[in-house]
Structure 1
Amino acid sequence: MLTFQKYFPLEDTPENASIMQSAMAVVKDEMQSNQIGYYKLPSNSLSLLERLKEIDSGVFTQIIIIGIGGSSLGIKAIDSILRPYTPNAKEVLYFENSDPITISETLTKIKKDKAAFFIISKSGSTIETTSILKTVIATCKLDLDGVDRKRVFAITDKDSALSKFAQHHNLKEFNIPDNVGGRFSVLSAVGVVPLQMAGYDVQNILKGAQEFITSFFEGGENHLLEKACYMYINSKNHGINVLFSYADHLEGLTKWYVQLWGESLGKIDFNGNRVGLTPIGLIGSVDQHSFLELIIEGPHDKSVTFISIKDAGNNLKIPDISLYGIEKTDFINNQSFNTLINAQCDATMQSVIQSDIAVDAISFDKVTPGNIGAIIIYYELLTSLMGAMLMINTYNQPGVELGKEILYKNLEKN
C-alpha cells in the first residue's frame, strides 16, 4: 500500500476547481480516445506474459539490455527496487551510454551462452543503441542467422528500422504501441518482457498499476489532482521539484522520474511561452548533507517530495557498543537502521515544512511488485495532469530531436 500526505495549502476556490476539472477532462479524453496509450498498458500488456510462455527463459541466467533513456531507465528503476526482495532474479547488465570505459567493462561481464540480449529502441535507429549493438555483435561473435538467433530479441515500433533488422534475421520481436512514448513505455514490452524473463513478478506490477489507475479515474486519488494544481499555480515562483528518496535502491526511480518530468514538461506552450518544471532527484540520507542547506537557506523556489519505506524488510541493528569520545550517540544503540533512516526522513521533512516550503510525502508500507506498479502509474498520471494544466504537448520532445539532428550532422562531417 502507498500512503500520500500533503503539507501545502491549496485554496478551495472556483478557479482551482476549474483547473482540476479541465485537466481531468483532458486526461480522460486522452485515455478514452486511445490517443495516448500508456493508460491501458496495465491491462493490455498481460497478453505479453502469455507470449513469453512460448520462450524457454530457463536457459538464460543473464539479461542484457541495450537501450537508452526510456528504453532502459524504467527497467533499471524496477530492477533496482525489487532486486533485494527477489533473491532468484537473474543478473541484468545495461548498455545505455556511449562511454567507452563502461561499455568495455560491461562487455567483459557477458556470459554469451547464458545471456538473452534485448535491443530496445522505439524509433529503431537511436545512434547510441545501434552503435553498442554493433559492438556487442562483434565482441560476442553473435551468429544472428544461426545458433544465437534465439537469444536475441528486438523491442521496437512496428515497421521501424530495428523491426526490419529483426525480420531480416528472423529474431523474436515485440512491438511498442504507436501511441506510447518511450518515457511512458516501461509497462509495455519495453519493461514487461525483459523483467519477466529476469524473474520478476510482472503480473502483480501490472495489477498494482491497474488498481491505481482505476481508482484515479473513479475519483479515488484526488491528492494527485490537488498536487498537480498546486504545482501549476505556483510554477512560476516554485518551478523546481525535488524528489527526496530515502533508500539507495530507489535511486533508479528518481532517475526515471527526472527523465519523465524533464522531457515531458519542459516545453513551449500553445501560446508560445516557455514553461516547465525542473526535476531534481536526491537520495536520503546522503544528500541531507549536501543539498538540504540549499533547500532551506537558499531561494524558496522549490517544492519537495519525500519517498520512504516503512518496512524495508531488513532488521539490521546498530550494535550496543559505546565508543570513546562519541558516547553521545549511544541512544541509538540496538535500534534498526530502518528506524534510523525513517527518523532522518521525518526530521528532514519537518525542517523543510518549518521553513515554509511546500512538501508532500509518499510512503511504501513495504516494497512489493504491486506498490511499484502503483508508483509508476502515479508519476505518469501526475505528468499528464501537469501537461494538461500547462497547456503543452506532454508527449513530444522537439528539443531532444534537435540535439539528435545536430549530432548526426556533426558526425557525418568527420
Structure 2
Amino acid sequence: MITYDLELGWRADEEANERMTEAFGNLVYEREKGVAGYYNLPEDSKLIVSEVQAFASSNEVIQKCDTIVVIGIGGSSLGAKAVDSMLRHRYPGARRMLFLENPDPVDILEKFATITKERSLFLVISKSGTTVETMSIFKAVIDHFHIDLDGDDKERIIAITDEGSALCHFVDHHGIKAYTIPHNVGGRFSVLSSVGIVPLTLAGYDTCTLLAGAASMVERFFDAQEEHLLIKAAFIAKNWETYRMNVLFAYATCLEDFAKWYVQLWGESLGKIDRCGNRVGPTPAGHIGSVDQHSFLQLVMQGPRDKSVTFLKVERFEKDLEIPDIRLEHIQKSDFVNGHTFNELINAECDATRRSVMKEGVPVDSITLDRIDEANIGELILYYELLTSLTGAMLHIDTYDQPGVELGKRILVKTFQKGPNG
C-alpha cells in the first residue's frame, strides 16, 4: 500500500481546476486513441511474461545462465535497473543483472572482466535500433567474447527493439530471438514493456505482481479516484516559474536508481517549448536521504526559494538492525538513539527533515510505501508516469517527443564523418 500526502500550502483556483479537468480529458483521449501506449502496458505485458517464462523453461542456454547483461542506455536501461535495485534484497536467488550503458572504456572493461560468456545472456535494447552508444557497446561485446552470430552463440543474445528497426532487421538476418516495443511507447515510458519486463522476468522477479500494482493505479486513476495526482500536477504547472526545481528525497539506498529514472522521465518529458513558444519545465533533482541531508538540504533550507520537495519514504524495511546501546567516551551526544532500530532512525530523520523544510515555507508532498515490494513498485512507476503526462498536458507541450536531444546526435555524426583531419 502507498499513501500520498500533499502539504503544498496551496489551493487550486478556478483556472487550476479548469486545467485539471482539461488535462484529465487529455489523458483519457491519449489512452482511447493510442497516442501514448504506456497506459495499456500493465495489462498487455502479461502476455510477455508468459511467453518469456515458457521460452526460458525450454532453453538450455538460459537455464545455465547466472547473469543477465543488459546493453542499453537511458530509457532502455534505467527502468529495469531501478526495479532490480529495489527488489534485489528480496530475491537472493535472482540472476545477477549487469548494465552496460555508458561508452566509458574503463567502465566497460571492468564489467567485461566480471562476465563469463558461457553463463551469461546478452540483451541488446534500443527502440530505434541505431542508438550509437548501445550499438558500439554491442559490437565490443561481440568482439571481446568472440560471439559467433551464426553459430550457437546467437542463443545467448536477445534483442528488444521497434518492429522494422535496423536492429530488428539485423536479428532477423541472423535468426536471433527478439521482442518488440509498441510504437506508441517512448523509451522513458517503456519500463513495463518488453524493455523492462523481459530482462526482469529472465532474472527471476515476479513481474506479474509488478504489473498488477501498475494496473491497479491505472484503473483507479481513470475511475477518478486519484485526485491528488491532478492537484500536484496543477501545482507544478501553475507555479513552476516560482518553484523551478522539484527535488525527490528518497529515504532508502535501494531507491537511488529509481531517483535517476525519475530524473530522466521528468527532464526529457517536460523540458520543452510550449505552443506559445515559451521555454517551460521544472528541473528534476534526485537525492537520497539521509545521505544528502548533509549536502543538498542546506541549499533547500536557505538557498533560493525556487524548489518544491517530494519525500519518498519506506515504512517497514523488513530487515531489523538495532543501534547498540553502547556508550562511547566523549561522543555521548548520539546516545539518544541507542536501543532504537535503524528503521526508526531513518524514518525519524525523514519526518524531521520534512517538518523543517515546511517551516521554511518550502512546498512539500510525501509518498509513503508500507514496504518495498513488486505491487508498490508497479504503482509508483505508474504514479510518476501519470504525473508526468498530466503536468505536460497542463504545460501545453508534447510530453512524448524529445527534439532537444537530436541536435547533439547530428553534431556527433558530423564530427566522425569529417575524419581525422577535421
Provide the residue aligned with 1:165 in structure 2: 170
* Cα contact 1:30–1:36 (8 A) shared by 2: yes
* Cα contact 1:66–1:96 (8 A) shared by 2: yes
* Cα contact 1:154–1:166 (8 A) shared by 2: yes
Structure 1 runs (4+) greater than 3 angstroms displaced: none
Taking the aligned partners of 1:373 and 1:32, their CA distance within structure 2 comes to 22
Taking the aligned partners of 2:362 and 2:375, their CA distance within structure 1 comes to 31
Query: Among residues 296, 301, 305, which one is paired with 1:300 in the alignment?
Result: 305
Taking the aligned partners of 1:346 and 1:128, their CA distance within structure 2 comes to 41
Taking the aligned partners of 1:12 and 1:159, their CA distance within structure 2 comes to 46
Task: Give SS of 2:123's match.
Answer: strand
Corresponding letter in the other structure for 1:213 = V
Taking the aligned partners of 2:330 and 2:191, their CA distance within structure 1 comes to 51
Per-residue CA distance 1:324-375 (angstroms, 9 max, x = gap): 0011221211111111110110111010001001000001100110000000
Taking the aligned partners of 2:385 and 2:4, their CA distance within structure 1 comes to 16
Task: Give SS of 1:4's match.
Answer: strand
Provide the residue aligned with 1:326 in structure 2: 331
Provide the residue aligned with 1:388 in structure 2: 393
TM-score (norm 1): 0.99
Task: Give SS of 1:123's match.
Answer: coil
Provide the residue aligned with 2:252 in structure 1: 247
Q: Find out whether 1:265 has 2:266 as its counterpart.
A: no
Taking the aligned partners of 2:94 and 2:275, their CA distance within structure 1 comes to 46
Provide the residue aligned with 2:126 in structure 1: 121
Query: Among residues 224, 230, 254, which one is paired with 1:225 in the alignment?
Result: 230
Q: Quote the offset at 1:12 in angstroms.
A: 4.3
* Cα contact 1:10–1:226 (8 A) shared by 2: no
Corresponding letter in the other structure for 1:25 = G
Distance 1:119 1:49, change over 3 A: same
TM-score (norm 2): 0.97
- Summarize the alignment of residues 24-63 of structure 1 with structure 2, pairs less than 5 Å apart: 24-52=24-52, 53-55=54-56, 56=59, 57-63=62-68
Taking the aligned partners of 1:328 and 1:116, their CA distance within structure 2 comes to 51
Task: Give SS of 2:346's match.
Answer: helix
Query: Among residues 86, 90, 94, which one is paired with 2:91 in the alignment?
Result: 86
Note the residue ranges of structure 2 that are not aligned, 5 or more in a row. none
Per-residue CA distance 1:47-74 (angstroms, 9 max, x = gap): 1012111233422211000000000000
Corresponding letter in the other structure for 2:360 = S
* Cα contact 1:308–1:362 (8 A) shared by 2: yes
Q: How many residue pairs get matched?
A: 414
* Cα contact 2:12–2:231 (8 A) shared by 1: no
Provide the residue aligned with 2:195 in structure 1: 190
Per-residue CA distance 1:107-145 (angstroms, 9 max, x = gap): 111111111100000000000001000100000111111
Provide the residue aligned with 2:75 in structure 1: 70
* Cα contact 1:266–1:275 (8 A) shared by 2: yes
Taking the aligned partners of 2:64 and 2:292, their CA distance within structure 1 comes to 41
Per-residue CA distance 1:159-206 (angstroms, 9 max, x = gap): 101101111110000000000000000000000000000011100000
Provide the residue aligned with 2:413 in structure 1: 408
Taking the aligned partners of 2:161 and 2:257, their CA distance within structure 1 comes to 22
Per-residue CA distance 1:358-396 (angstroms, 9 max, x = gap): 000001100110000000000000000000000001000
Q: Quote the offset at 1:408 in angstroms.
A: 1.0
Taking the aligned partners of 2:308 and 2:275, their CA distance within structure 1 comes to 25
Corresponding letter in the other structure for 1:355 = E
Distance 1:12 1:240, change over 3 A: closer
